[in-house]
Structure 1
Amino acid sequence: MHLKPESAERHTLSVTVANEPGILARIAGLFAGRGYNIESLTVADVTEDEAISRITVVTKAAPTTIEQIISQLDRLPSVIRVLDLTAMGPHVERELALVKVAGSGDHRIEALRLAEVYRARVVDATISSFVFEVTGGTEKIDKFLELMREVGLVEVARTGIAAIARGRDAI
Protein backbone atom coordinates (compact mmCIF):
# COMPACT_ATOMS: atom_id res chain seq x y z
CA MET A 1 0.00 0.00 0.00
CA HIS A 2 1.43 3.37 -1.07
CA LEU A 3 0.54 6.40 1.05
CA LYS A 4 0.08 9.71 -0.69
CA PRO A 5 2.21 12.48 0.87
CA GLU A 6 0.35 15.30 2.58
CA SER A 7 0.25 18.49 0.56
CA ALA A 8 1.45 21.77 2.00
CA GLU A 9 -1.19 24.29 3.05
CA ARG A 10 -0.78 27.97 3.90
CA HIS A 11 -1.58 28.74 7.56
CA THR A 12 -1.67 31.99 9.50
CA LEU A 13 -0.65 31.55 13.14
CA SER A 14 -1.29 34.11 15.85
CA VAL A 15 1.22 33.78 18.68
CA THR A 16 0.60 35.81 21.83
CA VAL A 17 3.78 36.25 23.85
CA ALA A 18 5.15 38.05 26.87
CA ASN A 19 7.02 41.03 25.46
CA GLU A 20 10.51 39.99 26.56
CA PRO A 21 13.92 40.31 24.89
CA GLY A 22 14.76 37.34 22.70
CA ILE A 23 11.28 35.86 22.22
CA LEU A 24 11.17 36.71 18.51
CA ALA A 25 14.62 35.17 18.04
CA ARG A 26 13.49 31.97 19.81
CA ILE A 27 10.43 31.68 17.58
CA ALA A 28 12.41 32.36 14.39
CA GLY A 29 15.06 29.90 15.62
CA LEU A 30 12.43 27.21 16.15
CA PHE A 31 11.35 27.56 12.51
CA ALA A 32 14.91 27.70 11.16
CA GLY A 33 16.19 24.85 13.30
CA ARG A 34 13.51 22.49 12.03
CA GLY A 35 13.61 23.62 8.41
CA TYR A 36 10.18 25.30 8.43
CA ASN A 37 9.83 28.29 6.13
CA ILE A 38 8.31 31.59 7.27
CA GLU A 39 6.48 33.36 4.44
CA SER A 40 5.53 36.39 6.53
CA LEU A 41 6.34 37.56 10.05
CA THR A 42 4.98 40.58 11.90
CA VAL A 43 5.19 41.55 15.54
CA ALA A 44 3.86 44.40 17.66
CA ASP A 45 2.90 45.01 21.26
CA VAL A 46 -0.86 44.81 21.75
CA THR A 47 -1.42 46.01 25.31
CA GLU A 48 -1.25 49.52 26.71
CA ASP A 49 1.54 48.58 29.12
CA GLU A 50 3.50 46.86 26.29
CA ALA A 51 3.67 43.61 28.29
CA ILE A 52 2.09 41.43 25.58
CA SER A 53 2.94 41.18 21.88
CA ARG A 54 1.25 39.40 19.02
CA ILE A 55 3.43 37.67 16.48
CA THR A 56 1.71 36.73 13.24
CA VAL A 57 3.48 33.99 11.30
CA VAL A 58 2.43 32.77 7.88
CA THR A 59 3.89 29.42 6.88
CA LYS A 60 3.17 26.65 4.43
CA ALA A 61 3.34 23.02 5.54
CA ALA A 62 1.45 19.75 5.65
CA PRO A 63 -1.30 19.57 8.31
CA THR A 64 0.72 17.26 10.57
CA THR A 65 3.69 19.63 10.36
CA ILE A 66 1.44 22.59 11.26
CA GLU A 67 0.32 20.64 14.35
CA GLN A 68 3.99 20.05 15.27
CA ILE A 69 4.81 23.74 14.80
CA ILE A 70 1.92 24.77 17.07
CA SER A 71 2.90 22.22 19.70
CA GLN A 72 6.55 23.33 19.65
CA LEU A 73 5.60 27.01 19.83
CA ASP A 74 3.30 26.29 22.79
CA ARG A 75 6.23 24.81 24.71
CA LEU A 76 8.46 27.88 24.33
CA PRO A 77 8.93 30.00 27.45
CA SER A 78 7.09 33.34 27.20
CA VAL A 79 4.53 32.00 24.71
CA ILE A 80 1.07 32.61 26.14
CA ARG A 81 -1.11 31.23 23.36
CA VAL A 82 -0.84 29.91 19.81
CA LEU A 83 -3.83 29.94 17.49
CA ASP A 84 -4.10 28.69 13.94
CA LEU A 85 -6.36 31.37 12.46
CA THR A 86 -6.67 29.38 9.23
CA ALA A 87 -8.03 26.33 11.06
CA MET A 88 -10.35 28.51 13.17
CA GLY A 89 -12.15 29.70 10.05
CA PRO A 90 -12.99 33.23 8.94
CA HIS A 91 -10.37 35.81 9.78
CA VAL A 92 -9.13 39.09 8.34
CA GLU A 93 -5.66 39.44 6.82
CA ARG A 94 -4.15 42.67 5.55
CA GLU A 95 -0.76 43.84 4.41
CA LEU A 96 0.72 47.21 3.52
CA ALA A 97 3.24 47.86 0.77
CA LEU A 98 5.17 50.96 -0.23
CA VAL A 99 5.80 50.82 -3.96
CA LYS A 100 8.26 53.11 -5.76
CA VAL A 101 7.59 53.58 -9.47
CA ALA A 102 9.71 55.72 -11.81
CA GLY A 103 8.79 56.79 -15.28
CA SER A 104 7.62 59.57 -17.52
CA GLY A 105 4.97 60.24 -20.10
CA ASP A 106 2.49 57.44 -20.69
CA HIS A 107 4.11 55.19 -18.08
CA ARG A 108 3.59 57.87 -15.43
CA ILE A 109 -0.06 58.34 -16.43
CA GLU A 110 -0.65 54.56 -16.45
CA ALA A 111 0.94 54.18 -12.99
CA LEU A 112 -1.48 56.79 -11.60
CA ARG A 113 -4.44 55.13 -13.33
CA LEU A 114 -3.54 51.70 -11.93
CA ALA A 115 -3.00 53.18 -8.48
CA GLU A 116 -6.52 54.61 -8.59
CA VAL A 117 -7.99 51.23 -9.59
CA TYR A 118 -6.17 49.51 -6.70
CA ARG A 119 -6.97 52.33 -4.25
CA ALA A 120 -3.29 53.01 -3.72
CA ARG A 121 -2.44 56.42 -2.28
CA VAL A 122 0.40 58.59 -3.49
CA VAL A 123 2.52 59.24 -0.39
CA ASP A 124 5.48 60.83 -2.20
CA ALA A 125 5.93 62.31 -5.64
CA THR A 126 8.81 63.80 -7.58
CA ILE A 127 9.12 64.83 -11.21
CA SER A 128 10.35 61.33 -12.09
CA SER A 129 8.79 58.97 -9.51
CA PHE A 130 5.94 58.12 -7.17
CA VAL A 131 5.76 56.17 -3.94
CA PHE A 132 2.39 54.50 -3.55
CA GLU A 133 0.91 53.04 -0.38
CA VAL A 134 -1.35 50.07 -1.05
CA THR A 135 -3.13 47.95 1.52
CA GLY A 136 -5.18 44.79 1.27
CA GLY A 137 -4.85 41.08 0.92
CA THR A 138 -1.63 39.52 -0.32
CA GLU A 139 -3.17 38.63 -3.68
CA LYS A 140 -4.21 42.25 -4.30
CA ILE A 141 -0.74 43.53 -3.50
CA ASP A 142 0.93 40.85 -5.62
CA LYS A 143 -1.26 41.80 -8.60
CA PHE A 144 -0.58 45.52 -8.09
CA LEU A 145 3.17 44.84 -8.10
CA GLU A 146 2.88 42.69 -11.22
CA LEU A 147 1.17 45.55 -13.07
CA MET A 148 3.61 48.17 -11.76
CA ARG A 149 6.57 46.14 -13.10
CA GLU A 150 5.32 47.00 -16.58
CA VAL A 151 5.29 50.76 -15.94
CA GLY A 152 8.52 51.24 -13.99
CA LEU A 153 8.60 49.46 -10.61
CA VAL A 154 11.83 50.40 -8.83
CA GLU A 155 11.51 49.20 -5.24
CA VAL A 156 9.06 47.59 -2.80
CA ALA A 157 8.80 47.49 1.00
CA ARG A 158 6.14 45.20 2.51
CA THR A 159 4.98 44.95 6.10
CA GLY A 160 4.02 41.29 6.16
CA ILE A 161 0.58 40.08 7.12
CA ALA A 162 -1.39 41.32 10.09
CA ALA A 163 -4.32 39.04 10.91
CA ILE A 164 -7.17 38.85 13.40
CA ALA A 165 -10.09 36.47 13.94
CA ARG A 166 -13.54 37.68 12.94
CA GLY A 167 -16.36 38.14 15.42
CA ARG A 168 -16.80 39.99 18.69
CA ASP A 169 -14.68 37.79 20.93
CA ALA A 170 -11.00 38.40 21.59
CA ILE A 171 -8.63 35.53 21.12
Structure 2
Amino acid sequence: MSALKIEQGTSKHSAYDLRSNYADVNERHTLAVVVENEPGVLARVVGLFSGRGYNIESLTVAEIDHQGHRSRITIVTSGTPQIIEQIKAQLGRIVVVHDVHDLTVEGPSVERELALFKVTGEGEKRVEALRLADIFRANVVDSTLKSFTFEITGTPEKIDAFADLMRPLGLQEVARTGVAALARGPL
Protein backbone atom coordinates (compact mmCIF):
# COMPACT_ATOMS: atom_id res chain seq x y z
CA MET A 1 0.00 0.00 0.00
CA SER A 2 1.34 3.43 -0.92
CA ALA A 3 1.33 6.58 1.20
CA LEU A 4 -1.79 7.74 -0.65
CA LYS A 5 -3.62 4.54 0.35
CA ILE A 6 -4.04 3.43 -3.27
CA GLU A 7 -3.27 -0.20 -3.87
CA GLN A 8 -0.82 -0.81 -6.67
CA GLY A 9 -2.49 -1.43 -10.02
CA THR A 10 -6.00 -0.37 -8.96
CA SER A 11 -6.09 3.14 -10.40
CA LYS A 12 -8.00 3.43 -13.65
CA HIS A 13 -6.17 6.64 -14.42
CA SER A 14 -2.65 5.33 -14.52
CA ALA A 15 -0.14 7.30 -16.57
CA TYR A 16 0.98 4.01 -18.08
CA ASP A 17 -2.42 3.23 -19.56
CA LEU A 18 -2.84 5.91 -22.21
CA ARG A 19 -5.05 3.88 -24.54
CA SER A 20 -8.35 5.42 -25.56
CA ASN A 21 -11.51 3.83 -24.18
CA TYR A 22 -12.58 3.20 -27.78
CA ALA A 23 -9.30 1.69 -29.01
CA ASP A 24 -10.43 -1.91 -28.58
CA VAL A 25 -13.91 -1.52 -30.07
CA ASN A 26 -14.20 -3.37 -33.39
CA GLU A 27 -16.54 -1.83 -35.91
CA ARG A 28 -17.88 -3.30 -39.15
CA HIS A 29 -17.46 -0.99 -42.16
CA THR A 30 -18.53 -1.24 -45.79
CA LEU A 31 -16.04 0.38 -48.17
CA ALA A 32 -16.76 1.19 -51.81
CA VAL A 33 -13.57 1.50 -53.85
CA VAL A 34 -13.62 2.67 -57.50
CA VAL A 35 -10.57 1.37 -59.36
CA GLU A 36 -9.15 1.01 -62.84
CA ASN A 37 -10.43 -2.13 -64.53
CA GLU A 38 -7.12 -3.75 -65.39
CA PRO A 39 -5.29 -6.97 -64.53
CA GLY A 40 -3.74 -7.17 -61.07
CA VAL A 41 -5.78 -4.41 -59.39
CA LEU A 42 -7.79 -6.78 -57.23
CA ALA A 43 -4.60 -8.59 -56.22
CA ARG A 44 -3.07 -5.28 -55.11
CA VAL A 45 -6.11 -4.34 -53.03
CA VAL A 46 -6.37 -7.78 -51.43
CA GLY A 47 -2.59 -7.79 -50.93
CA LEU A 48 -2.88 -4.61 -48.89
CA PHE A 49 -5.28 -6.37 -46.53
CA SER A 50 -3.36 -9.63 -46.25
CA GLY A 51 0.04 -7.94 -45.95
CA ARG A 52 -1.10 -5.98 -42.90
CA GLY A 53 -3.22 -8.70 -41.32
CA TYR A 54 -6.60 -7.03 -41.94
CA ASN A 55 -9.62 -9.25 -42.42
CA ILE A 56 -12.04 -9.08 -45.35
CA GLU A 57 -15.48 -10.33 -44.34
CA SER A 58 -17.04 -9.83 -47.78
CA LEU A 59 -15.69 -8.86 -51.19
CA THR A 60 -17.54 -8.16 -54.44
CA VAL A 61 -16.13 -6.77 -57.67
CA ALA A 62 -17.82 -5.75 -60.90
CA GLU A 63 -17.22 -3.41 -63.81
CA ILE A 64 -19.28 -0.23 -63.48
CA ASP A 65 -18.06 1.81 -66.48
CA HIS A 66 -17.08 -0.13 -69.60
CA GLN A 67 -15.91 2.91 -71.57
CA GLY A 68 -14.04 4.43 -68.63
CA HIS A 69 -12.52 1.04 -67.68
CA ARG A 70 -13.58 1.30 -64.05
CA SER A 71 -14.71 -1.29 -61.54
CA ARG A 72 -16.20 -1.06 -58.10
CA ILE A 73 -14.88 -3.17 -55.25
CA THR A 74 -17.18 -3.42 -52.25
CA ILE A 75 -15.32 -4.59 -49.16
CA VAL A 76 -16.80 -5.35 -45.76
CA THR A 77 -14.13 -5.31 -43.07
CA SER A 78 -13.89 -4.78 -39.34
CA GLY A 79 -11.42 -3.20 -36.98
CA THR A 80 -10.91 -0.40 -34.55
CA PRO A 81 -11.66 3.12 -35.81
CA GLN A 82 -7.93 3.74 -36.17
CA ILE A 83 -7.45 0.61 -38.28
CA ILE A 84 -10.40 1.53 -40.52
CA GLU A 85 -8.92 4.99 -41.10
CA GLN A 86 -5.55 3.40 -41.87
CA ILE A 87 -7.16 1.01 -44.38
CA LYS A 88 -8.92 3.89 -46.16
CA ALA A 89 -5.73 5.96 -46.30
CA GLN A 90 -3.66 3.07 -47.64
CA LEU A 91 -6.30 2.20 -50.25
CA GLY A 92 -6.29 5.83 -51.39
CA ARG A 93 -2.53 5.70 -51.96
CA ILE A 94 -2.76 2.87 -54.51
CA VAL A 95 -2.28 4.49 -57.92
CA VAL A 96 -5.13 2.67 -59.67
CA VAL A 97 -7.67 3.65 -56.98
CA HIS A 98 -9.90 6.61 -57.94
CA ASP A 99 -12.24 6.88 -54.94
CA VAL A 100 -12.61 5.32 -51.50
CA HIS A 101 -15.95 5.75 -49.75
CA ASP A 102 -16.80 4.48 -46.28
CA LEU A 103 -20.53 3.86 -46.68
CA THR A 104 -20.87 3.16 -42.96
CA VAL A 105 -19.73 6.67 -42.04
CA GLU A 106 -20.97 8.74 -44.99
CA GLY A 107 -24.65 8.27 -44.21
CA PRO A 108 -27.44 5.84 -44.92
CA SER A 109 -26.74 3.08 -47.41
CA VAL A 110 -28.46 0.06 -48.87
CA GLU A 111 -26.75 -3.32 -48.53
CA ARG A 112 -27.91 -6.50 -50.20
CA GLU A 113 -26.54 -9.97 -50.64
CA LEU A 114 -27.66 -12.95 -52.71
CA ALA A 115 -27.39 -16.50 -51.38
CA LEU A 116 -28.27 -20.00 -52.55
CA PHE A 117 -29.18 -22.68 -50.00
CA LYS A 118 -29.45 -26.41 -50.69
CA VAL A 119 -31.72 -28.08 -48.14
CA THR A 120 -32.39 -31.82 -48.09
CA GLY A 121 -35.21 -33.47 -46.22
CA GLU A 122 -38.42 -35.42 -46.41
CA GLY A 123 -41.87 -35.21 -44.91
CA GLU A 124 -42.49 -32.59 -42.25
CA LYS A 125 -39.00 -31.06 -42.56
CA ARG A 126 -39.62 -30.46 -46.25
CA VAL A 127 -42.93 -28.71 -45.54
CA GLU A 128 -41.33 -26.60 -42.79
CA ALA A 129 -38.47 -25.55 -45.11
CA LEU A 130 -41.00 -24.36 -47.70
CA ARG A 131 -43.00 -22.49 -45.05
CA LEU A 132 -39.91 -20.68 -43.75
CA ALA A 133 -38.78 -19.89 -47.29
CA ASP A 134 -42.15 -18.24 -47.91
CA ILE A 135 -41.80 -16.14 -44.74
CA PHE A 136 -38.31 -15.00 -45.80
CA ARG A 137 -39.43 -14.45 -49.41
CA ALA A 138 -36.93 -16.99 -50.69
CA ASN A 139 -37.55 -18.48 -54.11
CA VAL A 140 -37.28 -22.16 -54.96
CA VAL A 141 -34.91 -22.28 -57.95
CA ASP A 142 -34.41 -26.05 -58.06
CA SER A 143 -36.32 -28.97 -56.64
CA THR A 144 -35.89 -32.73 -56.53
CA LEU A 145 -37.76 -35.36 -54.55
CA LYS A 146 -35.26 -35.03 -51.72
CA SER A 147 -33.96 -31.45 -51.89
CA PHE A 148 -34.69 -27.80 -52.56
CA THR A 149 -32.37 -25.02 -53.65
CA PHE A 150 -33.53 -21.66 -52.36
CA GLU A 151 -32.47 -18.23 -53.62
CA ILE A 152 -32.70 -15.37 -51.13
CA THR A 153 -31.67 -11.73 -51.25
CA GLY A 154 -31.45 -9.31 -48.37
CA THR A 155 -29.18 -7.92 -45.73
CA PRO A 156 -26.40 -10.14 -44.41
CA GLU A 157 -28.34 -10.42 -41.14
CA LYS A 158 -31.40 -11.75 -43.00
CA ILE A 159 -29.24 -14.31 -44.82
CA ASP A 160 -27.68 -15.42 -41.50
CA ALA A 161 -31.12 -15.75 -39.87
CA PHE A 162 -32.40 -17.88 -42.76
CA ALA A 163 -29.32 -20.13 -42.53
CA ASP A 164 -29.81 -20.59 -38.78
CA LEU A 165 -33.40 -21.73 -39.32
CA MET A 166 -32.52 -24.08 -42.20
CA ARG A 167 -29.69 -25.91 -40.38
CA PRO A 168 -31.96 -28.20 -38.33
CA LEU A 169 -34.10 -28.84 -41.43
CA GLY A 170 -31.23 -30.29 -43.49
CA LEU A 171 -29.10 -27.43 -44.78
CA GLN A 172 -26.35 -29.00 -46.92
CA GLU A 173 -24.66 -26.18 -48.86
CA VAL A 174 -24.57 -22.40 -48.93
CA ALA A 175 -23.19 -20.07 -51.62
CA ARG A 176 -23.13 -16.32 -50.91
CA THR A 177 -22.24 -13.48 -53.26
CA GLY A 178 -21.00 -11.01 -50.69
CA VAL A 179 -22.38 -7.56 -49.98
CA ALA A 180 -23.28 -5.09 -52.72
CA ALA A 181 -23.93 -1.61 -51.32
CA LEU A 182 -24.81 1.91 -52.45
CA ALA A 183 -25.28 5.16 -50.59
CA ARG A 184 -28.91 6.25 -50.34
CA GLY A 185 -30.22 9.39 -51.95
CA PRO A 186 -28.62 11.66 -54.53
CA LEU A 187 -24.86 11.98 -54.87
Tell me by how many angstroms 1:89 deviates. Answer: 1.5
User: What is the DSSP-based 3-state SS (H/G/I as helix, E as strand, rest coil) of the residue aligned with 1:45?
Assistant: strand
Give the number of equivalent residue pairs: 169
In structure 2, C-alpha distance between the alignment counterparts of 1:49 and 1:107, rounded to whole Å = 50
User: What is the DSSP-based 3-state SS (H/G/I as helix, E as strand, rest coil) of the residue aligned with 1:110?
Assistant: helix
Alignment-derived partner of residue 14 in structure 1: 32
Structure 2 letter corresponding to 1:121? N
Structure 2 letter corresponding to 1:143? A
Runs of 5+ unmatched residues, structure 2: 1-13
Partner residue of 1:92 out of 107, 110, 127: 110
1:18-48 Cα offsets, whole Å, 9 max, x none, are 1010000000000000000000000000114
Partner residue of 1:83 out of 101, 105, 117: 101
Q: TM-score, normalised by structure 1?
A: 0.96
Partner residue of 2:78 out of 60, 69, 83: 60
Tell me by how many angstroms 1:50 deviates. Answer: 6.5
Alignment of 1:5-154 (within 5 A): 5-49=23-67, 51-154=69-172
Larger radius of gyration: 2
Runs of 4 or more consecutive aligned structure 1 residues displaced over 2 Å after TM superposition: 1-6
Structure 1 letter corresponding to 2:166? M
In structure 1, C-alpha distance between the alignment counterparts of 2:39 and 2:146, rounded to whole Å = 43
User: What is the DSSP-based 3-state SS (H/G/I as helix, E as strand, rest coil) of the residue aligned with 1:156?
Assistant: strand
Structure 1 letter corresponding to 2:31? L
Q: TM-score, normalised by structure 2?
A: 0.88
Tell me by how many angstroms 1:77 deviates. Answer: 1.8
In structure 2, C-alpha distance between the alignment counterparts of 1:115 and 1:75, rounded to whole Å = 45
User: What is the DSSP-based 3-state SS (H/G/I as helix, E as strand, rest coil) of the residue aligned with 1:116?
Assistant: helix
Runs of 5+ unmatched residues, structure 1: none
In structure 2, C-alpha distance between the alignment counterparts of 1:116 and 1:105, rounded to whole Å = 17
In structure 1, C-alpha distance between the alignment counterparts of 2:138 and 2:89, rounded to whole Å = 39
Structure 2 letter corresponding to 1:54? R
Tell me by how many angstroms 1:6 deviates. Answer: 3.1
RMSD between aligned residues: 1.0
